């Protein structure tokens, strides 16, 4: 990146020359791109490039673990990934997939770059969390911010059952050495600032074609305010898909059939609007 940070991630190069867009896939707060290789591979089968970066300080990125200079820096990183993709692959426009916490930077970038962002797939976006740091931890985070904000705190998502009811998925999450379990006070504060930025968005300002996917048994986000916000900001550009019996991370569902069909249908529709 332009500030010298070496950002790691996963790339599926395009296999079709007639595709003029790429897909940027953004993961959640504790996860990383390795959790979503299966669905990213499904997207790549359509022939367009898929970029699945690990957010700075997470996943394969060991430097500045669980930290960020500012919430705007998350968007600057996306800017640079987009610019690199335009130069190296030759595409002009982008579709975004944002899972859980990753839905927030995906939304913020799409709102800011309406001329480049065509479509948006939000899978359980973390706008309205059902799990948060406790009152004591919030007080400690506030105190830590007064001394630079580099002290780290536990991310309150360390129970794999919050993400999935599939035992195999729970074992994967529990044993994942790359998952992010702690973040700095500065990260928590900047994430909250990003929340406020998004929640101030005016009705109808999200111009990208938007699909919101919600899990009926989600214990990490609150579905009702999430749907209401997306419908207000995206207006007629929004559609909502419910998975009534699913937990938060659809990637780990024991029965992959319906989620696979949704991913394949979404990417196929993207090719039809080239």
Residue range 50-83, pLDDT digits in tens? 999 999 999 999 999 999 999 999 999 999 999 9
Mean pLDDT of the chain: 96
Domain at 155, CATH number:
3.40.50.1820
Coil, strand or helix at 136: helix
User: Is the four-CA dihedral 53, 60, 217, 138 of positive or negative sign?
Assistant: negative
Residues β-bridged to residue 183: 153
Mean pLDDT of the region 98-114? 97
- Is 4 part of a structural domain of the chain? no
Which of these, 217, 241, 221, lies nearest to 165 by C-alpha position? 217
pLDDT of residue 25: 98
Strands (E), 31-92: 50-53
- CA contacts within 13 A on the Cβ side of 256: 10
In a domain, residue 14? The reply is: yes
User: Distance between CA atoms of 157 and 29, rounded to whole angstroms?
Assistant: 9
Q: Can you give the pLDDT at residue 201?
A: 97
**End-to-end Cα separation, the chain, in angstroms:** 30
pLDDT tens track for 115-153: 999 999 999 999 999 999 999 999 999 999 999 999 999
* Percent helix, percent strand, percent coil in the chain, to nearest 5: 40, 20, 40
The two tokens of residue 158 are: 């360390």
| pLDDT value for 274 | 62
Domain count, the chain: 1
pLDDT digits (tens, 9 = 90+) for 211-249: 999 999 999 999 999 999 999 999 999 999 999 999 999
What residue numbers bound the domain in which 117 lies? 9-272
What's the residue count for the chain?
A: 274
CA pseudo-torsion sign 54, 56, 61, 62: negative
Least Cα distance to 140 among 90, 98, 188 occurs for 188
The verdict on residue 2 lying in a domain is no
Q: Which residues of 189-204 are buried (b: 16+ CB within 10 A; e: fewer)?
A: bbbeebbebbeebeee
Both tokens of residue 107?
A: 């939304």
**pTM score:** 0.97
Residue 56 resides in a domain: yes
Residue 211: strand pairing partners:
121, 239
Helix (H, G, I), strand (E, B), or coil: what is residue 209? Answer: strand
Pair 15, 235: CB distance under 8 Å? no
146 assigned to some structural domain? yes
**Integer Cα distance of 129 and 223 in angstroms:** 9
Dihedral sign from CA coordinates of 66, 69, 72, 76: negative
* CA 169 to the chain's CA centroid: 19
DSSP states of 136-166 = HHHHHHHHHHTTTS--EEE-S---GGGT-S-
Q: Is 7 helix (H, G, I), strand (E, B) or coil?
A: coil
């Amino acid at each position: 990146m332009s500030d010298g940070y070496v950002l790691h991630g996963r790339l599926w190069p395009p296999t079709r020359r007639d595709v003029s867009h790429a897909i940027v896939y953004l993961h959640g707060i504790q996860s990383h791109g390795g959790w979503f290789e299966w669905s990213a591979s499904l997207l790549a089968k359509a022939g367009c490039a898929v970029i699945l970066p690990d957010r700075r300080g997470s996943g394969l990125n060991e430097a500045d673990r669980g930290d960020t200079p500012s919430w705007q820096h998350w968007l600057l990183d996306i800017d640079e990934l987009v610019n690199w993709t335009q130069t190296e692959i030759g595409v002009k426009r982008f579709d975004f997939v944002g899972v859980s916490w990753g839905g927030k930077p995906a939304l913020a970038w799409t709102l800011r770059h309406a001329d480049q962002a065509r479509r948006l797939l939000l899978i359980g976006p973390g706008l309205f969390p059902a799990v948060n740091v406790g009152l004591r931890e919030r007080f400690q985070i506030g105190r830590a911010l007064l001394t630079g904000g580099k002290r780290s705190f536990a991310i309150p998502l360390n129970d794999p059952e919050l993400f999935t009811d599939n035992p195999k998925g729970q074992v994967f999450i529990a044993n994942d050495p790359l998952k992010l379990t702690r973040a700095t006070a500065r990260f928590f504060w900047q994430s909250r600032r990003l929340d406020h930025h998004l929640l101030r968005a005016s009705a109808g300002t999200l111009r990208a074609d938007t699909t919101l996917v919600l899990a009926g048994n989600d214990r990490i986000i609150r579905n009702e305010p999430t749907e209401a916000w997306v419908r207000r900001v995206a207006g007629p550009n929004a559609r909502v898909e419910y998975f009534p019996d699913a937990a938060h991370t659809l990637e780990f569902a024991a029965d992959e059939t319906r989620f696979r069909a949704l991913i394949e249908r979404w990417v196929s529709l993207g090719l039809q609007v080239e």
